């Protein structure tokens, strides 16, 4: 069952613009992961958040997990064409249990 909702479903931005992708869980998360993918290719791990209120950054990408551990956002600053792809959040709700992905967000960056 799909318990992770992402928004927006797709996003088209001009190069240089900032953007935010959201991932919402119906219940408290144990761990929240962000991945990037080109459809039909392997996953690129971006970040993992576990603590409420946690925030991590890597290059121009910042991910946050809210205090209740039910919502995460991924923010890209000054987007570039190389940022284009499908962004997936993934989560488990108890360690060792099934790992589910969010509904996905397709990002297009126009040069």
Of 35 and 76, which CB lies nearer to other proteins in the complex structure? 35
Asked if 91 touches other proteins (CB under 8 A), the answer is no
Least CB distance to other proteins at residue 21 (A): 13
DSSP string, 45-85: EEEEE-STT-EEEETTEEEEE-TTSSEEEEEESS--GGG-E
Binding region for other proteins (CB under 8 A): 1, 6, 31, 33, 39-43, 48, 50, 86, 88, 90, 95-96, 98-104, 106
């Amino acid at each position: 069952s799909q318990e992770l909702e992402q928004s927006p479903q797709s996003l088209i931005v001009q190069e240089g613009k900032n953007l935010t992708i959201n991932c919402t869980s119906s219940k408290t998360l144990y761990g929240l992961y962000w991945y990037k993918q080109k459809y039909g290719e392997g996953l690129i791990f971006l970040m993992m958040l576990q603590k409420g209120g946690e925030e991590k950054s890597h290059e121009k990408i910042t991910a946050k997990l809210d205090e209740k551990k039910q919502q995460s956002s991924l923010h890209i600053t000054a987007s570039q064409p190389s940022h284009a792809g499908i962004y997936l959040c993934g989560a488990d709700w108890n360690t060792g249990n099934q790992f589910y992905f969010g509904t996905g967000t397709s990002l297009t960056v126009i040069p």
